[in-house]
Every structure is written in C-alpha cells, then in structure tokens.
Structure 1
Amino acid sequence: MKVWCVKETSVEYRQKLLGTDIRKPRFSWKTLSDRRGVLQSAYQIQVAEEDDSFTNKLWDTRKIDSEEAILIPYEGPELMSRTRYYYRVKVWDDQGNESLWSDPDFFETAFLCGEEWRSSWITPHPAMINPAEESAFLLRKSFVLKKDIAAARVYCTSAGLYELYMNEKRVGKDLLTPGWSSYQHRLQYQTYDVTQELRDGINAVGLIVADGWYKGELGWEGHKGHYGSTRAARLELYVKYQDGSEDLIVTDPTWRSSTGPIQYAEIYHGERYDARLEKEGWSGSNYNDAAWYEVIVTDQVPANLVAQENEPVRITESRPAVSYVVTPEGDYVLDMGQNMVGRMRLAVEAEEGTRIRLSHAEVLDKEGNFYTDNLRGAKQQVEYITKGNGPESYASHFTFQGFRYVKIEGYPGLEKHVPLESFTCEVMHSDMPSTGHFHCSHPLLNQLQSNILWGQRGNFVDVPTDCPQRDERLGWTGDAQVFINTALFNYQGAPFFTKWLRDLKADQGEDGSVPSVIPSIGNIPISSAWGDAATIIPWAIYQQYGDKRILEEQYESMKAWVEYIRDQGDEPYLWNTGFHFGDWLGLDAHENSYDGATPKDLIATAYYAHSTRIVRDTAAVLNYREDYDKYTELHRGIVNIFQEEYVTPRGKLTADTQTAHALAIAFELVEGKTKARIAQRLNQLIQEKDDHLTTGFVGTPHLCFALSAEGYTDTAYRLLMQTSYPSWLYPVIKGATTIWEHWDGIKEDGSFWSRDMNSFNHYAYGAIGDYLYRVVAGLDRDPHIPGYKKLVIQPAIQENSGITNAEASYESEYGLIRSAWRIEDEYIIIEVSIPSNTTALIRVPSSLPQAELQEWVESYQKEEGMMSVNWAAQGIEIQTGSGDYQWKVPL
C-alpha cells in the first residue's frame, strides 16, 4: 500500500492546547499520500480523559463516512474543568485504505465556569503602597508541599500586566500578559504547567504587576486609568499529588507586597529599571519578607474571566545591531537594519549607579540626526541603572517599542568603542504560526512583501494596532478590515481575530454601533468602513478556514451593525448622515483635509451594501431562511438606490474618483454596460495620473482587484510596479522596511510629510499583498467553498510587466498549497501542489488557438490526478485532484 497517513492534528487551530474554556473544542487534521487525486472517505476521532493509551475512551465517533477534516466539534460527554484530554484521529481514503492512528495530542481545560474561581483579587494595602505609585509592585507568598507531586497548574491574571515567578525562576515565555481586552467585559487569564518548578518542602510564588493597558496611558490625549485606578492580581495554584489528593494556594490577604527595581513602566513611554533596588531571591522560598507590606482584597475589577483565547505575545526572533553612526548632533545611534517592534536587550559591566538610556526611533532626518517628532507624546525610552557588581543584562518587562534606530546615552566608553554585540533587539508580537510565502523575479516586490510581513508582525501585539510607536497603538477597525485577507494569508490568524472580535462584540453599543477602535477607549466617532469590520472580518475568517462557529458567534453583532446603519440615514437604503472618516489619507483630499475627495455618503452606502450582502450570505450559511430573505431584499434596495443616487442614466459615476470607481466594481454595485463604462473610466483616471494612484485607506485595497476583474490587469501591474510617488514601491525605493502610513512619509528631498501623523510602520496599504498572492502568483480559493477545500490556481501572467516568475505557498488547514510560474523561452512553466483531500481548478493562460493546443492536451490529460482538461477563452482549464504537478504551456 502506498503512503496514507494523518500528517498533523490540531484542536482549535493548535496541536496542543493548555488551558481552554471551550466546552466543545474542534478537531482538524491534515493527511498525506504519495498518490495523486486522493480524497478522504471517512474518519474516526477518539478522545480519552487523562489517558494517552486510550484504554478508557471518553468519546469515539466510530467510522464516519465524510470528507470533512477541519473543525469537527467534540460531541462526547460534558468536559470537566482542569482536566487533560488526549485525542487521536484515523482516516480512510477513497480507495478504502485505512491509516494508522495519529500520534496522541492533548487539550487541557481550565475553568469551564467562572464561579469555580476560589481566589481573591489582591493589591498592596493603599496606606503602605500608594495605588498611584509608578513603580511596578511585587507580590509573593511562600507555602509548603509535603508529598510527591504529580502535576501542578497555575491560573493567573491581573488588572495591569504581570510576570509570574516560581522559586526564583520566571514561569513561561509569554509577555504582556494577560493581554489587552475589553477589560470591563472580558479579562483573559493564563494557564501554566509548573510541575517542574515545584519541589517537596518550602516553595514560593511571586508576581510583578505594572500598569499596562489597564491603568496606563492610552490615546493621544494623555489620559490614564481608562479601565481602573488600582492594579491587582489573581492567582490559583493547584497541586495534585501522586496519592490523588490536592492542595490549593490562592491569592488572599496572607500574601505580602513591596516595590522593586522597575520604577516606571508605560506602554508608550518605556521603562526605568534601577538594578540597585533588586530584591535578590524575592520569589524564592528562603527570602525573608518580614519587611514587606500587607495586601488587601479588592473588588474593583468587574470583568468576566475567560481563558486565553489568542496566541500570547512572545519573543520570536533576536536581531543584533548592524552598525552605528555618530550623528551631526553628536549622538551615538545604533542601526538595527530593520524597522521592527520589540525590546532592546543590553549587556554591560559598569560602576554602580551608571545610568544608561536607550531612546528609540524609526528614521533619521535628512541631515542624519535622530528623529522623534513623529512619536508625538510617546517617549519610547528605557533607562537602566547598574548595580555594579559584574556583567549585567537587561531588557524591559512591560513595554515595547517600534523602531529601527536606537540612541545610546550613558553607556561607558562610547567615545572609544561602541560594542555592537552588547545590543540586541528581541522582536515581539503575537506568536501566530507563519502560513504564507510570496516571492517573484522582481526584487522591489520581494522587499514590498517583506515590508508587509514586518508591518503585520509589529502591529499584531495582542490586538491589531494601527502603529506601534507613537502615542496611539490602538485597534483601529478600519485598518484591520482592509488588511484582513493579507493578514490571514501570512499568518494563522483565527485565534487572534476570534479574540478581538469577541472584544468588538462586547464593546458594541446597544444600538448596534461599532467603536472605531477595539478595545474601545471612548471619544472616537463611529464611521462607515471602520464599523464594517463587524461583518467583513468574521466573513473573511469563515472564507479562509471554513470556520462556521465564528459566524454563529458574531451573527447578532453583524446584524446589529447593519440595523444600526439602517437607522442612520434619511431613508433606509442610504447612509447619508453623520460623521465618517471617508477615504482616509486619500491623495485627492481637499486642502487641510485627511478624508479624500470621494463623497463620504457614497462610501458609507457602498459599505452598507457590502455588509448587508455579507449578513445575507451568513444567514444562508447558518440556514436562517427568514433573515436571508430579509437581507436579500435590503441589499437589493441599497444597490438600486446607490445606482439612482450615484450613477447617471448613461452609466457614469457622479463622483469622478478612483476610489468611487473601485468600490462600485469591487462591491458589485453596478453591472453590465454600466460596470464596463465605470471600469473603463477607472482605467482612464489612472492613466490621467501617469499610472499613479490617488486612493486612501478605503479605495487602495480594491484598486488592482477591480482593474483585473474588468480586463485591465496591464494597468494594475503598472500601478503595482510604479516606483515614483505615489506608489507602493516609492517607500521601498526610499529605504522603507515596513509599510508607511503616508505614500510620501519621506519626500523626495528627504523632508517629512508631517510631524503629527507620520508612522513608518502602518500596515493598511500592505493590503496589496492579497493581490500579490491571489493574482500575481495566482493562489486562490473557490469563493463558494470555504477553507481551500477547492482551490483556484489562476496566475495573471503579463509578458511585458517585468515579472518573469512568481510563487506563493500557503499552509492551509488541509496542507501546503503552492502556485508557481515562470516564463522560459516561449513557454510558461506552471508548478502546483494540491494537498490531499482537496481538488483544484487551474487556469493556464495561452494565446495559441485550440487546434494547436490539442497535442499539448493529449500529452497531459491521462496523467494520474487529472480530472478534466477544457479550453477557455484565454487558455486552458484543468481540473485536478491532490498532488504535485508541472505543466509546460506554449505562450
């Protein structure tokens, strides 16, 4: 028998899941075969409680005839809290071949009911440590264990940010825990396996707690305490012994508190660490805490506790300093070679009390000096004061910076030597698995893809922020929705966005309004294209992963947003009232305006139609027939009114902007001859600008797609390949290593666009990545079958575009998909990889007439895995099953 096996299993998108409160977790698997054209015909799942031998099975599906292999929900007996469950999978292929069982993996529940928590929220006694104290505070407790330990788990969270220590050892690698959520509604807690950290006898547990997002400064107005005025922590340690008994240690009034070396910690501003104030061994069992202070129980944290939902922030890479310069102003500045997000780790040996300051910036000005004006109020500084008894190492605990350049002050001996090896950036972001890859023959496009990736990494720090450096760093909904397809290709983003969408639903107004930043910090107006994240992102997740549960969870939120819009306009089919950001940063904006020339009511109504169609389609998926009929009618009415209001009787848009034309095509608001005329005019508008764009945040993601959909791919490629301002490649030419907020963040003469709003790491315009993957490389999915169950491989090959080869690969829930093409002599070489249990439609361009392609067809159509070969208007259509294929097609 040939190879047929389960290659990889996962539960809720992860192979091993420690600490979940999902009552019906879902299982997925990837299969592997060395035979082409393989489909799964059946599967079997087994789940056992605390037993990886599966002797006593809790749930056994038996053999189920089905091709389904992703997100199969657990349907066994009710799960119990704080319990480990092992699972494994077996599959049959379409020839009846039976695989072996997969290797066992596990998931482990945390608290399935909030009432199970037995600990208290604690904080230092306010008479002894002022709640307004800037220093991070320390909490500790010692305890005795008297038996042989079988297993131990800590469940921990904080109002603020925390780090957990056990017997003088930092527990886990997660940073910025418990993350940022809609704290007044939802607060995550983390689960840690601390079995190896404990010992028989005296033990100790410790916490460091800082302000973080909970109590620290948020937004550009300097406001603090958005969620509360008091830091607090909550912890439960369960110790199971070999004899089956259990001990519980909880946060309560018996804990002790103090302050320590972290004198100051703010997300925007940085951290100050005085190593002279370290309390050596403070989290150890032998430490004397008699001089420490009492704690009190507090009830000032109202949020509902939920188990960790997304991937935590971690260090994913370490990058040493590349070089340094002495600026014209005399500053010593490190160049890290890449604009990125994280923290600097410094190594030093110096006299006690040496004060070292690191300041962070994205760019140097045109004179070569350290430039921080675009940070606005954010300081982005860390300060370390040495204790002076040998080599020391430090990296900040409760902050992060967005930067490429680091100014050093106070480091000993700088005038003689800058030790590059003493300075390393630890790159930080939500630790999502990488799934997508793109590469082509054009080096500037490859750099653009690198910029897109680094922009996503830097801005996916527990929430999808707009920028990672200035006094903002907020989860802007508009930025997230325009980038969602690119984001989900590059990284496995389902847990990340599931958590964020739950915050969106929690922060949504009773009237259905969606705040423009999530988690909400208030005082930011509601807007079309921003609030539409409520519909666009759940639908994108469903399309990418076949995740029906995200639609079920968010459906009421999605409907509420559309109903909110319906209530806003002068009549139910238009949204022509209220505030809107418009085509934010559109280059056709009026003077002293940020919002573009496209009428805001046109944009609002176009997105109204788009969101309504998504709700209609969601209702169809969920089999809500009445809602499907209701939103079909509403969508029809919006489209009709859009055409009456914004399209002339002769088929011309009343708004003569690139964005208006792109939206009308992309959202299918026009059809037939009218759509053809609007597409022709869009093409003309770009040509009138010498193949440059004028679009902002709203129009840019749809521009190239609209052109290609209507037969103007040559124009789309000229736009894509443009290197002069404004274009995607202009920043690349200017040395960008991330996506800029403004097309001309740095002008031709080296000056800056502005001081107030000029981020050099702002991912929105990186939405062009979706076009690179789906059109240039041609890796796409059937829009009617979610999750890449059926693939569409359709590269748009333009002979004179300057691109002679392109390749994209994507690690789907079924396995690796690859689409690659190259031009050699008078042939196109197409290579594809189709994972087991999927099929593909491959469209191969060719200008040869049907008769001349007959011989080519006959040479390939009998290959294993080939299902059919047909001629199409512009080439050949091939239906295949799984496997690796290569075809050589005459141009």
Structure 2
Amino acid sequence: MSAPTDLRLEHRPAALGLTERSPRLSWRLPPGTRTQRAYRIRGRAGDRSWDTGWVASDRSLFVPFGGPLLASREPVRCAVRVRTDAGTSAWSEPAAWEMGLLDPDDWAAAWIGPAEAEVPPAGLRPGYLLRGEFTVDRPIVRARVYATACGLYELFLNGERVGDAELAPGFTAYRDHLHVQAYDVTAAVRAGANVLGAVLSDGWFRGRTSFHRLPDGFGDRTALLVQLHADHEDGTSTVAGTGPRWRAAVGAVKAADFFDGVAADLRDEPAGWSAPGPVEGGWAPVAVRERPAARLVSSPAPPVRRLQELRPVAITRPEPGRHIVDFGQNLGGWVRLAGLGPRGTVLSLTHAEALTPDGTDVNTASGQATLHWYTPARGIQTDQVVSAGPDGPAFEPRHTRHGFRYLRVDGHPGPLTADAVTAVAVSSDLPRTGWFRCSDERLDRLHEIAYWTYRNQACDVPTAEITRELAGWTDFGWNIRGARLLNDVSGLSAKWLADLAADQWPDGTVRNYAPDPLGPRSLTARFAIPHGQAGFGDAAVVVPWETWRAYGDDGLLERQYPSMTAWVDRVARIARERRHPDRRAARPVPAPHEEFLWDTGYHFGEHLEPAPPQRPVSPRRPASLGGRRTTWATDLDSFTAAVVEEMESRDHAAFATAYFHRSARLLSRIAGVLGKTGDAERYGRLADDVRAAWQAEFITADGGLACDTQATHLRALAYGLVPEALRARTADRLAELIRAAGTRPGTGLPTTHLLLPVLADNGHLDLAYELLLRRGPRSWMSVIDNGGTTFWETWDGIAPNGATMLALNMPTRASVVEFLHGHVAGVRLDPELPAYRRFRVEPRPGGGLTWAEVTYDCPYGRIEAGWRSERGRFSLEVTVPPGTTAEVVLPDGSRAEAGPGAHAFSARPAPAGSGVA
C-alpha cells in the first residue's frame, strides 16, 4: 500500500531554525485507510539515528518524534510508516528540518543598535542602516543566518535581500520571548569579502501601537542580533555577526512607524550599502546593547509575507497633481509606486478604506486614533517619498502596514498609469483550508468577503481591525471559529496564546490585547481602560479549546492550562469577594448564590449592540471631545476616567456571569481531556453553581429572561444557561425580538457569531435563512449592496449615501461562514472528538437554495460535501478523508455512517416550513 503523506512538524511544514528540542510530528494516512493501528518512526540527527519500532497507537497528529534531545543547528530527517486496517504502508517521504541556536551561549554575536545621542520623537525615527563586513577564506558546504530584533528588521547579504518574511521578527510579548528567523544563505556567501546589512526600525517594539498609540511600549532603544554560520567541508565553521565593528547610518528611510507611516528620500540611499566595497554616507559606530532578558525561540506561526499583488481597477484625476486609485479590494499591506517623476518630486500616499460620500477624495476616518486624540504629522495612513529621478527605484514602504482599498497620490506630475502602482497584500501566510459555493452567488460573495476579512486581520497576531489600533485584541475568542474554517490558524493561535499567557498578570487578569506594549503601565497610562473584561479575557480558555477542537493538539491545552485556570480562578475570586452596590443596597444580606455572580468591574458588554438598553454616559463628557487633540489630551484623560467610572457603576451580571459559566464549563472539559479528573470535577461544580446563580437572578417566575435582548437570549441558548424545559420558549422569544426589530439582528460584537447557528439549531431555521438573505440596513447583504469587500465593525459601516462608521475590516460578521459551512453545506465538528476525526454532514437546506458544496482541508485530509435538490429528490455526495468517519444525516431524518472514500446518498427533501429543510 502507499505511504503516509504531508509530514508536518509541530504546526508547520519542516523548516529551518526550530528551537523545540523534542518536536512532534503529524501525518496523513494513506488513501482508503480507516484506522491506524501502529506507527513506526525512524530518523537521523547529525550522526545519530533512531528507530522507534512499532508503537501501538491510533494517533497521527502531534506524535512525539521518538528521537534524542536535539542539539543546536543539527540537521534532522524523519520518516514514518503505519500499520492500518488495510495493511502495512511504505515509508513516507522524509521530513527534513534544522535546529536553531538553542542555548544563550550559542550566540557569539552581540546586540547592537544605532548610537542615538538623542532619541528622535515618535513617528520621526528613521529606518537605520546597519552594516558589517566579514571574510570567508575557503569553500563552504552550507550557510545559515539567524536574526532577530527589538524592532523590525530587513536583512541583506552582499546586496541581496535575505528571505521573504516581512515585518520580521514579528509581534511578540518582547519582555518574555523574541522570535528568531533562520535563513539558508548558502548561495549568497562568497569566497573573500562579504557584507551583512540590515534596515532597523521601531516596529511594534518602540513605535506607536494599540488604541492608545503611545510609543516606547517595550523599550526606547531598538536593537539587532544577527549571526551567520558558514560551514566548511572539514566540519569547521566561519561565524560572523553583529558586533562593535559594525557601522550605522541614516539612508533613504527618514521615518518609519505603523501609524505615522514611512517618509523616505530615495536620493539619500547609499549605493551598494549592503554589498562589499566602499560605501558613501555618514557612517558611524554602532552602540552595543545589553542582552534582553527575553528568551530567543522560533515561532510556531507562519511568517508574515507578501501574499498577493493587486492592480488598480480605476484611477481618477480630480485635480492636477492628485490621483485617486481604487484597487477594488480592501486589504492590509502597502503600495509599491514606480515612475515617481523628476528628481526631487515630493509625493504623498494616503491610504483609506473608503471614499468620501461624493466620491472625490479618500475618507481616512477609519484610521483615526481612538478618541481622536492624535493625528500623525503626515496625515492618517500616509507615506511620503522624494523621488530619486526617472531612473530611480520604486517606492515600497516595507516598515509599516496600512488598511486600504483606495489610495490618494498627491504631487505626482501624472498621468499615473495602472502599471506604475501596485497594492501589496501583506499578512501572515496562513494556508487556506475552506471553500464554499452554492446556487446563490451572493452567498459565494459573502464567503470571499469573509476570507479577505480574516486574512487581512492576521498579521502575526489576530488583530481586531487593520487601520486604527493594529492590536491583538482578545475578541479573537469570538472570531476563531470562523477563522479556522477558512485558514489553518493552528500556529497563529499557538503563537498568540503564548503572548497572552506571558503578558497575563500574576492575579490571572488577561489583558484586553496581547501582546500588551504598556506592560506595567497599563494601570496608569493615558487612556488606560481596565483589563480582564468578560467575553474578552475568556479568550484565555476559549481559544485553546477551539484550537484543540479543530486541530487536536493536546500539548497546547497542557501548555495553556496554567493561564486558563488562573483566569477562571481570578473571576471566581472576584465574584466571591465583591458585590455590585445596587445589589448590595437591594439585598443587604446576600443570597447564597451571589458568590457566583460576576457583577462588578469594567466590561464593554454587548459592544456595538444596535439598540442597547438606554443609559447615558456621564454628563462630565467634555463638549470639545469631537475635536482632535494633536498635542495634549487632558480633556480626554478626564473623559476616559469618567467612562471607566460610568461603566464600572453598571451591573453587568447577566453578561459577565454568562461568560464566567462558559469558561468554567469549558475548563472542566479541558481538564478531562488532560486527565486531570480532580480539576474536571471541581470546575464542573463551579460551572453548575454559576449557572444556578444566573438562573436565580435572570430567569423570571414565568420562565422568561429578565434581560430581554437578543444577545442575552443567544447566550442563554448557546452556553446552556437555561434549563432544557425552557429552551424552546427562550428560542421563540428570541425570534419574537428579531421580528420586533423589523426582522433585523440586534446583536453586537460578542454574539453575532452565535445568531444564525443558534436559530437554526433551536427550531428557527427559516428565520436564520431570512436574516442571512435579508437586504437593507443591519444585514449581511448590506455589505454587498453598499460595495463592501470586507466585513465592517458595525452592521452599517458604509451607508447607501457613502457615509462610513468606524473600521471597515473587522471579523465579527465574517462569522457567517460558520452557518454557510455548518448548516447550509452541513459539515460540522463532532462535539467530542477533535480535528474532524469524526464529523457530521447534515445539510440544512433553505432560503430557496437548490445546491451547495463545501471543501475543507482538515488535519486528516480533504473533506468534501455537496448537495442538490431538484425534481423532488435530494442528493448528497461526501468525500471522507483517511482515518476519519462521517455521520451523515439527510433532510428526511435518515442516517448513515461513512468511512474513508467517496459516497453518494439520496432522500426526499423535508417538507417546506418544517424547520428541518
């Protein structure tokens, strides 16, 4: 029989620079295989070899590689064969990788940086050039270079760019760990003189970041660490890297920042600065930096790369010297502009997600700082470049990232042609895993809009949006289900969760975003908003759980377990020790259940709920708040404090206690997966007590809910808060609330992803389809009708008249893919077995659809399901990957179990209006 395929290492294909000494392997079973009964791994690391022999196991995901502890820079090769129900396989093609530098003593290079006598103001700090020479005196057989930075770096060797990673080394909890990239530079190293060069800028490390846009979050000095190993035939190596003999200069990049953009004068780029030979410019000695305390490790996530280039679909010239470019798609990245005009021409490039309502200019409102306190000197999302002349280089600002569909170019002598301007989509290089098509092309379009939305938001962390804050907000807990259907987010999730845990406070508080640049300043910094909010902090539990469900990584659950328990224990402690003043006044003697109510603290609540319960913000809001503050923000400090006070005065128990229950319940299940039976029982009892407290407070005597909103009813159903006997009543009331709102959603960011699946699973499939296909305001279709190419932060991000509101790329409403995949096409995870080892195919036709199909690449292989309903017959075709089983449920209620391979089923459609079809 054939061999296992697709050998993977941890969460990625085999690669250079791994720092996990005992990595895990995953593979896919040979076609037609139902069950793996045993595996055998053999491998070689350096001059050591091993063979596990046959290991009785059905596991093919995250399997210990079986070899010795690996050493620094050691090359490794592994192959696997399996025994299955179909016999013994051949050996797989080997997976090959190399280890990185594992120990601090492996680093002979020094941390260096520009010797800034005085640090320039934030937003005006250059992308410094750093340069070092070294000599190789005899032939080499291989060469590797290892690099990282406190800041962003681009690496060059002998005048050529090294690697294809962008925005390296990425965004991490820099106080705890830094990611190191490894590159194969064998072909670039020469006999004789060589030069390593780098461009070093602020990046996330000391640039403006997050909603507060305060600089110097992780430090006030950038630094670079590079080490090259050139290996010779005799087993020796030439080692070179950063050190005190390196030199620094300011070249073309005069300023580089995520929010302030890039300013460059291409006339000032020293020719050949990263190549051997003499070089012009004002080069000065570098400063040697202290070694950071952070650990140097490889990243489990794929790198950020240039993923796609887009040409303009339209260019207009509203006035001389000004061009408006439409790329036809909202994206995260930058623009490459060629043909910059005569030497000395100054051009400004302003990026925007929308146009002004009259269509004559770009609308930069979505890139404005939160609270409007700060506007970059060059303008919102604006880069600036000075041309080196007609034969000079193109401009490509690789040390920033913008969110945009439209570009305004000011200063170009024109005409600006389509071949001169290119939008470059730059995001984490996540493998795509999900595709969907159906008989309604609008739903196909929604699916692609969701794909672009999720792809744009993934930039080494799962950002909430792509223009305003660029932070790894913990709302990823609401968005991961949809994201994982379209892309492989296993490595991104593992990477981000390590950041979350590293920045978690000792008392268990989860910060609102991870990594957190402010660190200890989070309590006192300007515009500080309290961390540890319900629904947000719960990502510490939800994201590991949902990642495990999709990919089956028990090790991730084990690693994150201390973070999860710390969060739930912190919430339990707050619930036990604090009472809301209103509840204390109403009941001086607390009811026994109150120790399980989370009713205090600052919470966003059902953020951006279309029609929330009315309660005005404190009247202390300053009248001048609508104006921009570019130099000071005293009024805004006062306003922020007033908002915090106001929000903390509210009783959030119905909202926060629901998430408390959910996290405790999930943690009980996670403890069970990990074999921690005592914890499973303890957190299970806690979840029972929290649910009982919620029911005592928020279920009325007649069985209704005291908080009569769509969101509360959704949480009650989705999180199992109402007794089984009340589920139908609760679902019916939810439907009534939707009808009372004009058959429009009334959900904010936390519960929109629940809306359609909960309706469909609780007897209101027809209403779910009606909401999905409804047009007009507050609908999914409004994105298409109003020209959106990504989902918006609010339901009506772009109005019919072109007016915009808040961010225009936010993944909450992209969660519609959960319904498209799981109900329209019908492929859903098993509630118990992870990674689609067992899954359900249960199409729920409706909305006038006559066919639908979905393709999903799960860890075991490709799942395909497609149905058609025509001429009174329902037909379904399903492809099941090796090693998995599908439970197939047809609209007439008939069931079947399908093993690996292709299958066809047929049935009569369920009668219209049955709630089943």
Name 1:889's counterpart in structure 2.
907
Q: TM-score, normalised by structure 2?
A: 0.89
Superposition pairs for residues 7-46 of structure 1, below 5 Å? 7-33=5-31, 35=32, 38-46=34-42
Name 2:872's counterpart in structure 1.
826
Q: In the alignment, residue 18 of structure 1 is paired with which amino acid?
A: L
After superposition, the C-alpha distances for 1:103-137 in whole angstroms (9 at most, x for unaligned) are 12212111223343232211223349979772211
Relative to structure 1, the CA distance from residue 839 to residue 380 in structure 2 (aligned partners, 3 Å threshold; closer, same or farther) is same
Which stretch has the larger CA shift, 733-742 or 340-349?
340-349
Does residue 1:535 correspond to 2:541, yes or no?
Answer: yes
- Count of residues in Structure 1 that have an aligned counterpart in Structure 2: 842
What's the secondary structure of 2:596's corresponding residue? coil
CA positional deviation for 1:58: 2.2
State whether residues 596 and 696 of structure 1, in contact with CA within 8 Å, keep that contact through their aligned partners in structure 2: no
After superposition, the C-alpha distances for 1:692-736 in whole angstroms (9 at most, x for unaligned) are 111101121112222122111111111111112111111221111
**CA distance in 2 between partners of 1:156 and 1:282 (Å):** 19
State whether residues 515 and 524 of structure 1, in contact with CA within 8 Å, keep that contact through their aligned partners in structure 2: no
Name 2:728's counterpart in structure 1.
676
Q: In the alignment, residue 470 of structure 2 is paired with which amino acid?
A: R
Superposition pairs for residues 484-633 of structure 1, below 5 Å? 484-521=480-517, 522=522, 523-526=528-531, 527-569=533-575, 570=579, 571-589=594-612, 590=614, 600-633=652-685
Q: In the alignment, residue 410 of structure 1 is paired with which amino acid?
A: G
After superposition, the C-alpha distances for 1:183-208 in whole angstroms (9 at most, x for unaligned) are 12221111111111101111110111
Q: In the alignment, residue 400 of structure 1 is paired with which amino acid?
A: R
State whether residues 147 and 225 of structure 2, in contact with CA within 8 Å, keep that contact through their aligned partners in structure 1: yes
Q: In the alignment, residue 588 of structure 1 is paired with which amino acid?
A: A
What's the secondary structure of 1:196's corresponding residue? coil
State whether residues 442 and 803 of structure 1, in contact with CA within 8 Å, keep that contact through their aligned partners in structure 2: yes
After superposition, the C-alpha distances for 1:781-810 in whole angstroms (9 at most, x for unaligned) are 211111111111111112xx1222111111
Q: In the alignment, residue 877 of structure 1 is paired with which amino acid?
A: R
**CA distance in 2 between partners of 1:596 and 1:835 (Å):** 51
State whether residues 152 and 169 of structure 2, in contact with CA within 8 Å, keep that contact through their aligned partners in structure 1: yes
Name 1:860's counterpart in structure 2.
none
**CA distance in 2 between partners of 1:404 and 1:245 (Å):** 52
**CA distance in 2 between partners of 1:502 and 1:730 (Å):** 37
State whether residues 787 and 813 of structure 1, in contact with CA within 8 Å, keep that contact through their aligned partners in structure 2: yes
Which stretch has the larger CA shift, 460-469 or 69-78?
69-78
Superposition pairs for residues 364-443 of structure 1, below 5 Å? 364-370=355-361, 371-376=363-368, 377=375, 379-388=380-389, 390=391, 392-414=393-415, 418-443=416-441
Name 1:53's counterpart in structure 2.
none
**CA distance in 2 between partners of 1:486 and 1:256 (Å):** 48
CA positional deviation for 1:737: 0.4
State whether residues 328 and 369 of structure 1, in contact with CA within 8 Å, keep that contact through their aligned partners in structure 2: no
**CA distance in 2 between partners of 1:148 and 1:129 (Å):** 43
Q: TM-score, normalised by structure 1?
A: 0.91
Name 1:287's counterpart in structure 2.
278
What's the secondary structure of 1:59's corresponding residue? strand
Of 467, 478, 488, the residue aligned with 2:465 is 467
Name 1:170's counterpart in structure 2.
161
Name 2:243's counterpart in structure 1.
252
CA positional deviation for 1:767: 1.7
Q: In the alignment, residue 564 of structure 2 is paired with which amino acid?
A: M
Name 2:915's counterpart in structure 1.
none
What's the secondary structure of 1:195's corresponding residue? coil
Name 2:897's counterpart in structure 1.
879
State whether residues 166 and 284 of structure 1, in contact with CA within 8 Å, keep that contact through their aligned partners in structure 2: yes
Does residue 1:700 correspond to 2:752, yes or no?
Answer: yes
CA positional deviation for 1:671: 2.2
State whether residues 352 and 407 of structure 2, in contact with CA within 8 Å, keep that contact through their aligned partners in structure 1: yes
Of 116, 136, 144, the residue aligned with 2:106 is 116
CA positional deviation for 1:67: 2.4
Which stretch has the larger CA shift, 431-440 or 377-386?
377-386
Q: In the alignment, residue 776 of structure 1 is paired with which amino acid?
A: V
Name 2:707's counterpart in structure 1.
655
State whether residues 266 and 393 of structure 2, in contact with CA within 8 Å, keep that contact through their aligned partners in structure 1: no
**CA distance in 1 between partners of 2:118 and 2:134 (Å):** 24
CA positional deviation for 1:57: 5.9
Name 1:161's counterpart in structure 2.
152
State whether residues 548 and 556 of structure 2, in contact with CA within 8 Å, keep that contact through their aligned partners in structure 1: yes
State whether residues 131 and 229 of structure 1, in contact with CA within 8 Å, keep that contact through their aligned partners in structure 2: no
Name 2:633's counterpart in structure 1.
none
Name 2:222's counterpart in structure 1.
231
Superposition pairs for residues 252-401 of structure 1, below 5 Å? 252-288=243-279, 292-299=283-290, 301-327=292-318, 331-348=322-339, 350-370=341-361, 371-376=363-368, 377=375, 379-388=380-389, 390=391, 392-401=393-402
The structure whose residues are more often strand, as a share, is: 1
Name 1:716's counterpart in structure 2.
768
Name 1:766's counterpart in structure 2.
814
**CA distance in 2 between partners of 1:725 and 1:23 (Å):** 54
Q: Cα RMSD over matched residues?
A: 2.1
Name 2:586's counterpart in structure 1.
none
State whether residues 582 and 598 of structure 1, in contact with CA within 8 Å, keep that contact through their aligned partners in structure 2: no
Of 779, 787, 800, the residue aligned with 1:748 is 800
**CA distance in 2 between partners of 1:592 and 1:469 (Å):** 28
State whether residues 131 and 230 of structure 1, in contact with CA within 8 Å, keep that contact through their aligned partners in structure 2: no
Relative to structure 1, the CA distance from residue 285 to residue 128 in structure 2 (aligned partners, 3 Å threshold; closer, same or farther) is farther
CA positional deviation for 1:600: 2.5
State whether residues 271 and 280 of structure 2, in contact with CA within 8 Å, keep that contact through their aligned partners in structure 1: no
Relative to structure 1, the CA distance from residue 578 to residue 598 in structure 2 (aligned partners, 3 Å threshold; closer, same or farther) is closer
Name 1:857's counterpart in structure 2.
none
What's the secondary structure of 1:477's corresponding residue? coil
Relative to structure 1, the CA distance from residue 668 to residue 327 in structure 2 (aligned partners, 3 Å threshold; closer, same or farther) is farther
Relative to structure 1, the CA distance from residue 206 to residue 713 in structure 2 (aligned partners, 3 Å threshold; closer, same or farther) is same
CA positional deviation for 1:391: 5.3
**CA distance in 1 between partners of 2:573 and 2:670 (Å):** 21
Which stretch has the larger CA shift, 740-749 or 119-128?
119-128
State whether residues 188 and 309 of structure 1, in contact with CA within 8 Å, keep that contact through their aligned partners in structure 2: no
Of 64, 85, 90, the residue aligned with 1:94 is 85
**CA distance in 2 between partners of 1:353 and 1:818 (Å):** 57
State whether residues 265 and 385 of structure 2, in contact with CA within 8 Å, keep that contact through their aligned partners in structure 1: yes
Q: In the alignment, residue 367 of structure 2 is paired with which amino acid?
A: L
Q: Could you list the runs of 5+ residues in structure 1 that have no partner in the other structure?
A: 51-55, 847-874
State whether residues 775 and 795 of structure 1, in contact with CA within 8 Å, keep that contact through their aligned partners in structure 2: yes
**CA distance in 2 between partners of 1:410 and 1:583 (Å):** 45
State whether residues 340 and 412 of structure 2, in contact with CA within 8 Å, keep that contact through their aligned partners in structure 1: no
After superposition, the C-alpha distances for 1:449-508 in whole angstroms (9 at most, x for unaligned) are 1111111111111111111112x1111102x11110111111111111111000100111
CA positional deviation for 1:13: 2.9
After superposition, the C-alpha distances for 1:601-646 in whole angstroms (9 at most, x for unaligned) are 1110010000001110111011112111211111110111111011
State whether residues 349 and 390 of structure 1, in contact with CA within 8 Å, keep that contact through their aligned partners in structure 2: no
**CA distance in 2 between partners of 1:437 and 1:804 (Å):** 18
What's the secondary structure of 2:193's corresponding residue? strand
What's the secondary structure of 2:395's corresponding residue? strand
State whether residues 467 and 762 of structure 1, in contact with CA within 8 Å, keep that contact through their aligned partners in structure 2: yes
Q: In the alignment, residue 722 of structure 2 is paired with which amino acid?
A: V
Name 1:865's counterpart in structure 2.
none
**CA distance in 2 between partners of 1:129 and 1:597 (Å):** 42
Superposition pairs for residues 631-646 of structure 1, below 5 Å? 631-646=683-698
Q: In the alignment, residue 337 of structure 1 is paired with which amino acid?
A: G
Q: In the alignment, residue 531 of structure 1 is paired with which amino acid?
A: G
After superposition, the C-alpha distances for 1:251-301 in whole angstroms (9 at most, x for unaligned) are 211111111010111101211121110111111111347952111212274
State whether residues 270 and 280 of structure 2, in contact with CA within 8 Å, keep that contact through their aligned partners in structure 1: no
